[in-house]
Amino acid sequence: MSTAVAEDKKAETKLSQLDQLKKFTKVVADTGDFESIKDFKPQDATTNPSLIFAATQKEKYAHLLTEVIADRKSSGLSGAAQIEDIIDHLLVAFGCDILQIVPGRVSTETDARLSFDTGGSIKKARHLIELYEKRGIDRKRVLIKIASTWEGINAAEQLQKEGINCNLTLLFSLPQAVRCAEAKVQLISPFVGRIYDWYKAANKRDYTGVEDPGVQSVREIYTYYKKFGYNTEVMGASFRNVGQIIELAGCDLLTISPELLDKLSKSQEPIERNLDPAKAKDADVKKLELDEKTFRYLLNDDAMATEKTAEGIRKFAADIVKLERVIASKL
């Protein structure tokens, strides 16, 4: 090895794992905590009902909810419509503050209770984008998060045609990913950690490295997309440990919690690129032909994907209800 190459390698090992990862993957902060976003300097940020609810319970962010309630009290709405209006404005208020920190995009989630309502999801997405645009935010900087149900993907397909970019979340299987790509969705969020959780509990054993089922799922989706030339971005999400992140180094994007971002920033162990579009092009992969009947059957046939999609929708819906109760108590 030449002296110059040796010096370059030595300099590279001095970089934190987070900085090494940023060389070939867009790092996204999975949080509603502005301070964490400032600390780790991600490209984008994602939120969801659970993160927003948790943030509003913290003293340093409580003022956002107070301000939105004060501003929307004179909206002329009452009851459930008023609470829904306040939540929409709260989501956008968080998103706008996050966009003052990150250079890229923020993901804002629709109501999980609309997961099987194509029309309702479209209407909600249009409204959220309208609120962002009224505050001077270009729609290109916002991703609308929708669950990866058949109805949710159909909603996203229409929204993409209108220039409203979508992030299809609660995604646990290749059929969901393929349907999203065919719908020309901007981005998908396969949930690594929740897949890992399911297999760990079902098989009563731990998984590490490339044998991790969550890691395998994202690798399969990434390879399929690059093999067949889909433009939909793959963003691994819901990580349980740093090992899962390192195995997916090279993925288009990875959305990572502050706790794991902190661990990556404190380690200087070398990271290698594990996902490469050039290698994916040569993979032996068969094209999956999907219509609605095939999609529903394949999803139903995958116990993990069926259970985790349903569970995720229930949990996000429950946190929206908690937020509604907090708001109702303040009105």
Active-site amino acid positions? 145
**Residue 235 phi, psi (nearest 5):** -120, 100
Give the ranges where the chain is alpha helix by DSSP (H).
3-13, 17-21, 34-40, 49-56, 59-72, 79-99, 118-134, 150-161, 174-182, 192-203, 213-228, 242-247, 258-266, 277-281, 292-301, 303-330
**CA-based nearest residue to 185, from 216, 210, 153:** 153
Torsion over CA: 50, 53, 59, 63 (sign): positive
What tokens does 242 get?
A: 């740093």
User: In 3-state terms, what secondary structure has residue 167?
Assistant: strand
- Beta-bridge partner residues of 171: 190
DSSP symbols for 13-43: HTS-HHHHHTTTSEEEEE-S-HHHHHHH--S
CB atoms within 10 A of CB 37: 23
Cα separation of 277 and 53, whole Å? 37
CB atoms within 10 A of CB 205: 8
Cα separation of 19 and 25, whole Å? 10
